[in-house]
Amino acid sequence: MPVTIYNTLTRRKEALVPGEPGQVRMYVCGPTTYNLIHLGNARPLVVFDTFRRYLEYRGYRVTYVQNFTDIDDKIIARAAEEGLDPGVLADKYIAEYFLDAAALGVRPATVHPQVSQHIADIVAMIRSLVDKEYAYAADGNVYFAVDRFAGYGKLSRRSPEEMLVGARAEIEGDKRSPLDFALWKKAKPGEPWWESPWGPGRPGWHSECAAMALRYLGSGFDIHGGGYDLVFPHHENEIAQAESYTGQPFARYWMHNGFITVDQEKMSKSLGNFFLLREILRRFPGPVIRFYLLSTHYRHPLDFDLEGLEGSARGLARWQKTLDELEQRLGGRAGEAATSGPAHPLREQVAATRETFVAALDDDFNTPAAMAALFALVRETNSFLARSQTGDDAGTLAAVRACLKELGEQVLGVLPLAGQAAPSSREAQVVTGLVDLLLEVRSLARQHRDWAMADMIRDRLAGLGIGVEDTPGGTRWEWRG
């Protein structure tokens, strides 16, 4: 069974057939680095990172390119506000971006090209477009002539005629048509600029992705992804440029993720209803946020709420507890995952889990259904562990562990759910020592059947955010925030 994905270009699910067998080339539009990212920005990161991981799991080699827009009006404006050099500001937020991405378990792309490093590529493309009369220069600016590209509107399913009618688009500057868009913008005083055949300026909107995608992936690469709001005009314009430039199809499959909403409205800067990822990370571990983002199908809207995150935290904690329990039973043993041996219901469950998981993700990357398969495995495993005490099932347990790690860690990237950041400060060490001391006192109290004392200690610790559990193997505690 092939991997199937919904292609915005054709509005249907299609089997993924890479242009080059065994190799998938994908490009995802990255952030404009003028501030910290919010949860809405985080969704495509997690979604496409997971998709990339899945493709690798399915045996493809994946070349994954994600750009940084480090030259842009918003960056220039923000830099001016803060009295910083735009390049310095952009670099700062690129660094911040990597911190956020890492917290979410998003792996670095194969290449992270930046606009500022590809001016020559962009200029070369624009020059060619001008030569071929797909674009025209006017007073230091260069515009793309939309009416020269017959396929304009094929991605967003709108016709240039319609856009001209209903739109409030007006002819600005020296554009010949309201639909034309800037490939190169003349520098205004004080703005960063690069030399070009049309005078000092900088790349306009959309040019970067087209030029950099072609540079690293070549024309006709496999998957181009991004948020749904990029369909028009961003991706439409990329197609217009790239295909006019190369004369060949730009990207073969277009994937777009749905929005994060707040009270049903799109999370956005302008509405002021956004939550910075940094803020949410203060309350929930990255893996929980990742789990939460993957618990809705990527094309559907996800209405953000804290209760949902709480639910994700509990669900994911179950996965982790099961894994912890398996580790404990298996001891330090690497535990070869037995593939033979007596037929064991759990072993069948492992096989069924893989099968269901893969079928779900093959079907346009249905993460909620895939996660349901893992929940089934977790439940069956816990059920088995609750009944069995002996250690003669090591091979089977190791097989479960391997499956959980493979699907939950390697593919979904939500494990391990790091308990609490390993406290390394002096204060944290003292706290840990004190808690251990209190629990020793409590154990003594319990031995003397002094339940009042034991419960008081447990309750007071709970009040401090420390959860205490008595298990057959001894008392455990954990931070519960």
Interacting residues with RNA between 159 and 198 (CB under 7 A): 162-163, 166-169, 181
The answer to whether the CB of 104 falls within 8 A of the CB of 418 is: no
Near RNA by CB under 7 A: residue from 57, 193, 194, 232: 232
Burial label, 477 (beta-carbon count in 10 A; 0-12, 13-18, 19+): middle
The answer to whether the CB of 29 falls within 8 A of the CB of 67 is: yes
The span of 80-88, 232-240, 247-255, 282-290 binding RNA (CB under 7 A) equals: 232-240
Q: Which of residues 104-143 bind RNA (CB under 7 A)?
A: none
116/296 with CB nearer RNA: 296
Q: Which of residues 8-47 bind RNA (CB under 7 A)?
A: 11, 29, 31-32, 40-41, 43-44
Rounded distance, CA 246 to CA 255, Å?
22
The answer to whether the CB of 136 falls within 8 A of the CB of 142 is: yes
The reply to whether 388 sits near RNA by the rule CB under 7 A is: no
Rounded distance, CA 88 to CA 262, Å?
32
Least Å from the CB of residue 294 to RNA: 10
The reply to whether 3 sits near RNA by the rule CB under 7 A is: no
353/424 with CB nearer RNA: 353
264/340 with CB nearer RNA: 264
Q: Which two tokens stand for residue 377?
A: 């495995």
Residue for token pair 């298996």: 330
Q: Which of residues 351-370 bind RNA (CB under 7 A)?
A: 360, 363, 366, 368-369
Q: Which of residues 444-473 bind RNA (CB under 7 A)?
A: 446, 451, 454-455, 458, 467-471
Near RNA by CB under 7 A: residue from 211, 330, 385, 412: 385
Least Å from the CB of residue 262 to RNA: 9
Q: Applying CB under 7 A, what is the total number of residues that bind RNA?
A: 86
315/335 with CB nearer RNA: 315
Instruction: Write the DSSP assignment of 299-362 as a string of letters.
Output: TS-EE--HHHHHHHHHHHHHHHHHHHHHHHHHTT-------SSS--HHHHHHHHHHHHHHHHHH
77/99 with CB nearer RNA: 77
Least Å from the CB of residue 311 to RNA: 4
Q: Which of residues 201-230 bind RNA (CB under 7 A)?
A: 205, 226-230
Least Å from the CB of residue 446 to RNA: 5
Rounded distance, CA 205 to CA 233, Å?
10
Residue of 240, 217, 228 whose CA lies nearest to 135? 240
The CA distances from residue 249 to 17, 190, 252, 263, 358, in Å, are 15, 38, 7, 39, 30
Q: Which of residues 325-354 bind RNA (CB under 7 A)?
A: none
Least Å from the CB of residue 324 to RNA: 9
The answer to whether the CB of 156 falls within 8 A of the CB of 231 is: yes
